[in-house]
Amino acid sequence: MDQVKTGELIRRLRTERELTQKQLAEQISVSDKAVSKWERGIGCPDISLLTELARALGTDVQVLLSGQICKNEKEKGDMKKLDFYVCKECGNMVTSTSEAQISCCGSPLTQLTPRKAEENEQLQVEDIGGEWYITSAHEMTKEHFISFVAYVTDSSLMMFKQYPEWPVNITLPMYRSGRLVWYCNKCGMLFQELRPKRR
């Protein structure tokens, strides 16, 4: 293991997943100082931590040991990079794991670009004993509403269709870190990270 190359890779994967050093450290039960040392190439993770570290960074142990992502690894496609499309005419929702040309109701659809939700825009997430209960104070009228909420991990997608004048009430299994993505017919697409609390 090349400490410098592995450290640079850890830093790159951590920032791609929008984790702070402290958040990554908490996920694998080490100090943020340890993560900082790894990323600066002045230390390396103990072999007993590699499996959990690889999982937290969305990669595998061999990639960490080599310190680089080969071309095939890059092309596997992280579900968190899933593209979303919504038809303004009929409300149809389409997803794609790679570049695509998609049309609906006779018109081409434009890929939606999600933006990180501000604190006052975020969905409310409550731990109800092993599950997340998700609600929203967002307006849900015929003119202004959330049309879907999706929960995306590196390997899976759960999508929940929402309807005008119905409140957002979603229950999700709390089994791994992921991203909540939702689409509002006026505000566009937003996202927030969702991570289980360590017990």
Q: Is residue 170 part of a domain?
A: yes
Q: How many other C-beta atoms are found inside a 10 Å radius of the C-beta of residue 46?
A: 10
Residue range 115-144, pLDDT digits in tens: 999 999 999 999 998 889 999 999 999 999
The CATH number assigned to the domain holding 128 equals 2.60.40.730
- Do 25 and 56 belong together in one domain? yes
pLDDT greater than 70 at residue 13: yes
Q: Is residue 57 part of a domain?
A: yes
pLDDT greater than 60 at residue 184: yes
Gap between the Cα atoms of 147 and 138, Å rounded = 11
- Do 52 and 13 belong together in one domain? yes
DSSP-H helix ranges across the chain: 3-16, 21-28, 32-39, 50-57, 61-66, 71-74
Residue range 71-108, pLDDT digits in tens: 444 444 556 678 899 998 888 999 988 778 889 998 99
Give me the domain span that covers residue 168: 79-194
pTM (two decimals)? 0.60
